[in-house]
Amino acid sequence: MASYKTNEFKGGLKIMLDGDPYSIVENEFVKPGKGQAFNRTRVKNLKTGRVVERTFKSGDAVEAADVMETNLQFLYYDGELWHFMHPESFEQLTADAVVVGDTAKWIKEQDVCNVMLYNGQPLSVDAPNFVVLEITETDPGLKGDTSGGGGKPATLETGAVVNVPLFVQIGERIKVDTRTRSYVSRA
């Protein structure tokens, strides 16, 4: 089984701890002038997202986690599972609500998502940085307001709610930055 020595530790390295996959967030080398060296790390549990501290004896080996990131196309949601497909191998994979989480509110069919695979199965799904979605509900804007000093909430076809300028209307398609969850422009 693949493993990493503490000298290979760096941000982003995927390791197994207590049976869960983790990603190293921070790694610090600590050593008394005359004594044992340690690696003090902060690691993120890739299942729960929780960040915890962990200390290793320098020179120890840790099992590598079989974690890789890949781009998968979102095919459809069957009411229980989200179905994805690899655009080249056409291999299909499914992910449940725990894995997809909040991303469900930002993706629609055909979107290509960044998916983290653990032992070949989806562990987390990220929406594309920018998505184009249709507005299904919003208050009609005031007549004559074209610049929009303020804004108003708008519900999108996926259920997500973003703040949009007053001039944007129901039925229009808009571009959204999913990282900040904010309106970018009309599409």
Partner 1 sequence: MIIGPVMPGPVTTGPAPASSPEWRPTTTRAAIAARATLLARLRDFFGERGVLEVETPLLSRAATTDPALASLLTRYTGPGAPDGQPLYLHTSPEYPMKRLLAAGSGPIYQVCKVFRDGERGRRHHPEFSLLEWYRQGWTLAALMDEVADLCRLLLARPDLPVRHLTYQRLFQDRLGLDPFQIDAANLRRAAIDAGVPGAGTLDLTCDGWLDLLLTHCLEPALGRGALTFITDYPPSQAALARIRPGPVPVAERFECYLEGMELANGFLELTDANEQR
User: Where does this chain bind partner 1 (CB under 8 A)?
Assistant: 7, 28-38, 40, 52-58
Distance CA 138, CA 166 (A): 9
Extract the tokens encoding 42.
């902060």
Asked if 111 and 103 touch (Cβ cutoff 8 Å), the reply is: no
Cβ proximity to partner 1: between 38 and 84 the closer is 38
Between 48 and 185, CB nearer to partner 1: 48
Q: How far is the CB of 47 from partner 1 (least distance, A)?
A: 18
Q: Residue 45 Cβ, how far from partner 1 at the closest point, in Å?
A: 13
**Residue whose pair of structure tokens reads 């997809």 in the numeric block:** 100
Cβ distance to partner 1 smaller for residue 35 or 150: 35
Task: Tell me the C-alpha distance between 151 and 159, whole Å.
Answer: 18
- Tell me how far, at minimum, the Cβ of 20 lies from partner 1, in Å: 13
Residue 80 DSSP label = S
Note whether 12 and 4 are within 8 A (CB).
no
Q: Where are the alpha helices (DSSP H) in the chain?
A: 97-100
Q: In a 10 Å sphere around its CB, with 0-12 CB exposed, 13-18 middle and 19+ buried, how is residue 162 labelled?
A: buried
Q: Measured from the CB of residue 127, what is the shortest distance to partner 1 in angstroms?
A: 33
Q: Which is nearer to partner 1, 53 or 139 (CB)?
A: 53
Q: Among positive and negative, which fits the CA dihedral 127, 81, 110, 21?
A: positive
- Report the sign of the C-alpha dihedral through residues 136, 139, 143, 149, in that order: negative
Q: Which is nearer to partner 1, 36 or 182 (CB)?
A: 36
Q: Give least dist CB 150 to partner 1, A.
A: 44
